[in-house]
Structure 1
Amino acid sequence: MTEKLPEAIDLSHHLSRVSRARTTSPLKGLQKYFGKEGMISLAGGLPHPDYFPFSTISAEALPYDSYVSAMSNQSRGSFSWLWSFLSGGKKETVPITIPKYPANSGDISLSTALQYSMAAGIPQLQRIMKEFTDKVYKPAYSNYATIVHTGNTDGWVKASMTLCNPGEGVLVSEWTYPSALSTIIPLGLKPVPVAMDYQGMKSDSLRIVLSSWDETTCGMPRPHVMYTVPIGQNPTGATMEAVRKKEIYDICVEYDIIIVEDDPYYFLQEGPYDLPALRNKKPFKVDEDDELFISHLAPSYLKFDYQGRVIRLDTFSKTIAPGCRMGWFTCNPLFAERFERQAETTTQAPCGFSQSIVTSLLLNWRYEGYLRWLKGLRVQYTERRNFFIDCLAEEFHLQRTLDTQGVWAGCEVYHASQKHRAEKQATNEKRAEIGNAVFSFVPPTSGMFVWLKLQLDGHPFFNTVGYKELEMKLWTEIAEAGVLFGPGFMFSSNQRPDEGGSGHFRISFSNAEFGDMKKAVSIFATVLEKFFEHV
């Protein structure tokens, strides 16, 4: 017998003044009568659907099994980009057609999808979101709600405005997503950084921040909202596992914190990276059934949320396409109702074209098909991650060590040194000493980015100009050579965390062609060599 789950507790004291002041939009409030049988509506300014200049919308979609769903253990070396191109997926497509007036009343209709509609989204999409959340995230309370938003950035805007008043702080990781900071700062909110390690935000550091908070010294009340990207942590690519999430959730219960879980990379959990020689020795990983696949993913905070204090942000941006501008909240019904009131007078529902096409695709694929698509995406991005780091291994000497202190304590760190210098100093293909490293990194276990830590203290001008100027100087030289990285300063939530004068780059392996990634790493190596030779 299934254990009965509790309902969400009352968290209304977390609502901002603006959110409390929102009422149902007068015009949107009339829509509850629109579906009443025999109702003749003369109240709303709705265009007649006959005048929509689209009789049908058609699309050719890829099948859900277009990409392999299990990793091969074979290394493809320098030409893996060519292999990926030649085996990228099946060519056949699945036709999708959405009529203005369907024969069956329950089918998606352009006359409805392209009309002014409720901010909660079209009914078919609402059912898809609910089924997916039930089966994958398994919230620990019974009366949770799902409601659409127009992408996770919009979701964070709505959440921050719903929960926070000007002059308050928001708990964030010391390195975090820049747009999240750009959202809250104009609202009069202040980022409150929490130290990180290889899993992301540290639970012990969070407790220290909260337990030692002094309102007079800090100049604001203790924060009651936390923003986090726990999977594919942006920018570090860290994966926060279940034990850490449970620790942080328990602290948030103790200190009455709302967790906003921004999780666009959830299904891009790539696992540990191995160099090609080690990768080839591992047994071939067979495909997993759906339940096993889900069980091997680091769980959402929702799995531990028995009080309704997690607001989860899901998006189709990384799994379907960013331009569809669609995603959804999973949260307690109090917050969902407030988000709906906000959407009624701001974004309303996502674009009707996007809703109708994406929903039709998911109805065609069904839950099992969408999960199969997600398995394929995980393999594709794992191949990309592996290929990019393999390129680094070709251009640099990579030496692995187990760090015992600092942000990366407890995990294997790759230290990269210039090949030409290593070859001058070493014989019999021995690796260069770590002291000669020009950058280091921990291979990401999820997401789309590699986070490089630049060893700028080895530069001749380090003591003269400092690491901040050197980071930007190197970034500029790489950009002028034709390669664009994300400069580290963009991702700092506390002006710059002190890591011994190190600079940082966030490098994406998600979009460029494989041949271009290889070329970019070669350019990076050339520029870096000249950079450290400056006198």
Structure 2
Amino acid sequence: MAHNALDEKGISSIVQSPEIATTASSGGGTQPKAICLQQYFSEESRNFQGSALKKTTRLLSNFIPLGTGRPTAELYPWTSSDANWPTFLNKPNGPEGRARVPSTYTLANALTYGAALGAPSLVQFLTEHMKLIHDPPYQDWAVCLTCGSTSALDIIFRTFTDRGDVILAEKYSYPGFIESAALAGVEIQPVDLDDQGLSPDKLGQILDQWNTLERPKPKILYTIPSGQNPTGVTQSQKRRLSIYEIAERHGLIIVEDDPYYFIQLGPNAASEGGNPEAVSRQLVPSYLSIDKSGRVIRLDSTSKILAPGLRAGWVTASQQVIDKYAAYHDLTTVSVSGPSQFILHDLFNLQWGQEGFSTWLQTLSLKYTQRRDITVAACHSFLPSDICSFAIPDHGMFLWISIDVRMHPMYAAEGHIVQDWCSQVEDRILTLGLANGVQVTKGSLFFTKKSSQEAELFFRLTFAAAREQDLAEGVRIFADAVKAEFNYRGSLPRA
């Protein structure tokens, strides 16, 4: 890895480069093609078509990314990298790698097979972090590194569910969770949301009325409580306490997937940094922090607060769960990438410490608050308010745009088809936006259960991936696509 400082042009190119699918190189026209192996595919793989969300990330040379929740490189805490080569290899011209502070976790440690739990010094730092921020109120909790939350969900499904089981989740949720559940053969029972997130009344009603003679009662509730993906709503402390009480009463395990927890938007983002205890007081108490019985499995990620390419996160749960998690980890991914652990160890233990990490999180919140405010102002300026509505998030990186399809000039004629027709409208808006240089994400990708009876149309916008100076223009292009589809000319046409 040669020294590589990113200039503004380099940052822009990273921001605008989605995942690129690689294909096998051709050996020339004279060589035979591989035989067809599709007949050998498992039933699972025959039915699995890959991530629907990532397929929406189009490979275009110039577009404004308001769709993918991938932080811009401008918000990574690193701007360059250094490495040293042995003297018997040719080295590129450039500065030598920086001298490192002596450490018990060395590059040699990082480049060998690692422990399933993670590097001890890194796990120790994260355990201290969890104690300072969440302080779980029971004795035998522990931390294990993960290869990101989607990988962690796969192991959680293996640990706690059998094919045919039912789990509970918000009505709209993270596609990685939805697709992981489908692969595990698990059905999702959606729970309605309101302006504070998952509804405890609806959750309690579902569980109280569950017919255990027909199917076993769900044992897992999956929730994204802060800056929920895709709606952006955050559960209040009172809401979390109510949901936790229901979990206690019905014997539920709560999977708390909380990658946006530290991305506070608004006044709290400007509060004093550098003090983990002060940061903790500003945050809504997590489910982990109110968990007295060890029924919460909390997932944290570096993807939204450091860099997604690290493919690293951590799970906090009771020791019995961590032991089982590590056993699966040891046999599947083995461990988090050693170089990623080395980078994190260097950042946390040798550079930042707990106070530096807290300062970074508050700095990040300030930057995201600026981006949110620009995006919200553009939405107020460009989106037709009689068609589009949204709530202003106080955590995370998403705006959930609700579009009233009843205002469409063809609704009276086509609306009886409901969701099929809504999907066509959704596709046309998405396509027109892409054609004019903006990428947004279709709301239908986040439906935990498709309904042919509900006339629902949403788009998720993110203010994380685009350059700050492009946010307003991206919203304008999206708004123009909505207006064109609805034949909007400053006032709604008569149907």
The TM-score normalised by the length of structure 1 is 0.70
The answer for the alignment partner of 1:413 in structure 2 is none
The answer for the alignment partner of 1:370 in structure 2 is 357
Give, in angstroms, the shift of residue 212 of structure 1.
0.3
Give, in angstroms, the shift of residue 522 of structure 1.
1.9
In the alignment, does 2:457 pair up with 1:503? yes
5 Å-filtered alignment, 1:349-498, equals 349-363=335-349, 364-396=351-383, 416-417=384-385, 437-466=386-415, 467-496=422-451
Give, in angstroms, the shift of residue 202 of structure 1.
0.7
The answer for the alignment partner of 2:31 in structure 1 is none
5 Å-filtered alignment, 1:70-469, equals 107-216=104-213, 219-271=214-266, 287=272, 290=275, 291-363=277-349, 364-396=351-383, 416-417=384-385, 437-466=386-415, 467-469=422-424
When the two chains are superposed, the root-mean-square deviation of aligned CA atoms in Å is 2.9
Change (3 A) 1:99 1:249: farther
Separation in structure 1 between the aligned mates of residue 256 and residue 181 of structure 2, nearest angstrom = 16
Q: Work out whether residues 168 and 222 of structure 2, in 8 Å CA contact, stay in contact via their aligned partners in 1.
A: yes
Separation in structure 1 between the aligned mates of residue 487 and residue 79 of structure 2, nearest angstrom = 53
Q: Gaps spanning 5+ residues in structure 2: where? A: 7-73, 87-98, 416-421, 489-494
Separation in structure 2 between the aligned mates of residue 323 and residue 89 of structure 1, nearest angstrom = 13
Q: Work out whether residues 457 and 502 of structure 1, in 8 Å CA contact, stay in contact via their aligned partners in 2.
A: no
Give, in angstroms, the shift of residue 498 of structure 1.
6.7
Per-residue CA deviations over 1:297-344 (Å, capped at 9, x if unaligned) read 111101110111000001111111111111111000000000111011
Q: Work out whether residues 199 and 238 of structure 1, in 8 Å CA contact, stay in contact via their aligned partners in 2.
A: yes
Give, in angstroms, the shift of residue 140 of structure 1.
1.2
Change (3 A) 1:99 1:379: farther
Q: Gaps spanning 5+ residues in structure 1: where? A: 1-53, 62-87, 274-283, 397-415, 418-436
Give, in angstroms, the shift of residue 289 of structure 1.
6.0
Separation in structure 1 between the aligned mates of residue 116 and residue 313 of structure 2, nearest angstrom = 13
In the alignment, does 2:463 pair up with 1:514? no
| Matching residue's letter, 2:133 | V
Change (3 A) 1:374 1:103: closer
The answer for the alignment partner of 2:17 in structure 1 is none
Percent pairwise identity:
32
Q: SS where residue 215 of structure 1 aligns?
A: coil
Separation in structure 2 between the aligned mates of residue 139 and residue 261 of structure 1, nearest angstrom = 13
Of the two, which has the highest radius of gyration? 1
Q: Work out whether residues 164 and 186 of structure 2, in 8 Å CA contact, stay in contact via their aligned partners in 1.
A: yes
**Greater RCO (CA < 8 Å, at least 6 residues apart):** 2
Q: Work out whether residues 274 and 359 of structure 2, in 8 Å CA contact, stay in contact via their aligned partners in 1.
A: no
Q: SS where residue 169 of structure 2 aligns?
A: strand
| Matching residue's letter, 1:269 | Q
Give, in angstroms, the shift of residue 285 of structure 1.
5.3
Change (3 A) 1:471 1:359: same
The answer for the alignment partner of 1:14 in structure 2 is none
| Matching residue's letter, 2:359 | R
